[in-house]
Homo-oligomer: A and B are copies of this chain.
Amino acid sequence: MYFTYEQPEFDRKDPAEIRRVIKEAYLVGKDAAREGKVADYIPELAKADGNDFGICVKTLDGEAIEFGDVEKRFSIQSISKVINLAVSLKFMGFQETFAHVRMEPTGDSFNSILKLDTVDDHPFNPMINAGAIQVMSVLSNVFEFEELLEFARNFCMDNDIELNEKVYRSESETGDRNRAITYLLKSKGVLQGDPDKTLDMYFRMCSLNVNARSLANMGLILANGGQNPYNGKHIIHPAYIRVIKSLMYTCGLYDESGEYGVLVGIPSKSGVGGGIIGAVDNLYGIGTYGPALNQKGNSVGGISAMQHMSHLLHLNVFY
């Protein structure tokens, strides 16, 4: 990421200029991706092509501005944490959700158990593995995977989302750290559901096959107060959408969230599958796909493209 306070002058409402900037962002992201490295901690993820890059920006009036690999499917990974949180808020409510997980950034890596074992028995937030597993332990008592899948399809306006069986099996077979986290939560008496079912549903939700377009749609619903702007359906209450976006802002990019907030300033969530979702209030939903990651586990291309758009189109929440 970089910093500049130069602001080129152009008409930021002109659709042609907007399209030009998004195309530039695609090229910037595509180029930056060369510095990243595909995730290898799950064998299936290691098969991704680090050169892939795609960006999709959806507008409230139905336009899709997209470039590159926007239809290519990849596993949603940590972005499913946003879906899990949304389901929990929608069906369990705020009090019940945050009776089981906190709302604080950790400053630690996504799979850290340090704070869990030294500061608080409850995970710090729902955007880290421990927190998302905890949320899932609540959901697993009430929902079947198919119900969450259906919710995800609505949230992403994408009925083609399926479980990627290979990724799921790979997650499941190599998910020992998540298993350790789950049993640690259970040993502390905070886990709410059966460890095996919790983990199974957690792994399944991480293995949903999305693409940049699905993410842009989901971002659009977040940007539009929880309502699908195309069919008018209310997916999530706006008060919950604000909660979700605030947590995306403070905790959405693992231990790079603070810097991303400063330099990009769009509430976003990343996944090690290569996706990043962004929500620009009342304007855009953004999805990027670039499986080449930086050391924090975030898509190099995605971050670069997001920053380019934020900077030139003034998408930072503090504009």
Contact = CB atoms under 8 A, between A and B. Distances in A.
A265 B239 contact: no
Contact of A183 (B102, B119, B177, B257): B177
B104 A258 contact: yes
B262 A246 contact: yes
A95 to B, nearest CB: 7
A164 to B, nearest CB: 22
B250 A105 contact: yes
A258 B105 contact: yes
A193 B115 CA distance: 29
A83 to B, nearest CB: 18
A176 interface: yes
Contact of A184 (B177, B251, B256): B177
A281 B318 contact: yes
Interface residues of A, number: 59
A179 to B, nearest CB: 4
A258 B118 contact: no
A239 B4 contact: yes
Contacts of A142: none
Given A106-B107, A179-B183, A247 B258 contact: yes
Per DSSP, chain A at the interface is: helix
Given A181-B180, A318-B281, A95 B242 contact: no
Interface in A250-265: 250-251, 255-259, 261-262, 265
Given A5-B237, A118-B114, A242-B265, A104 B183 contact: no
Contacts of A251: 258
A5 B243 CA distance: 11
B104 A257 contact: yes
B239 A261 contact: no
Most buried by B among A103, A125, A245, A257: A103
26 contacts: A3-B95, A3-B239, A4-B239, A5-B238, A103-B259, A104-B255, A104-B256, A105-B107, A106-B107, A107-B108, A107-B115, A107-B124, A113-B117, A176-B183, A176-B195, A242-B262, A242-B265, A242-B316, A246-B265, A246-B316, A249-B250, A250-B257, A250-B261, A281-B318, A281-B319, A317-B318
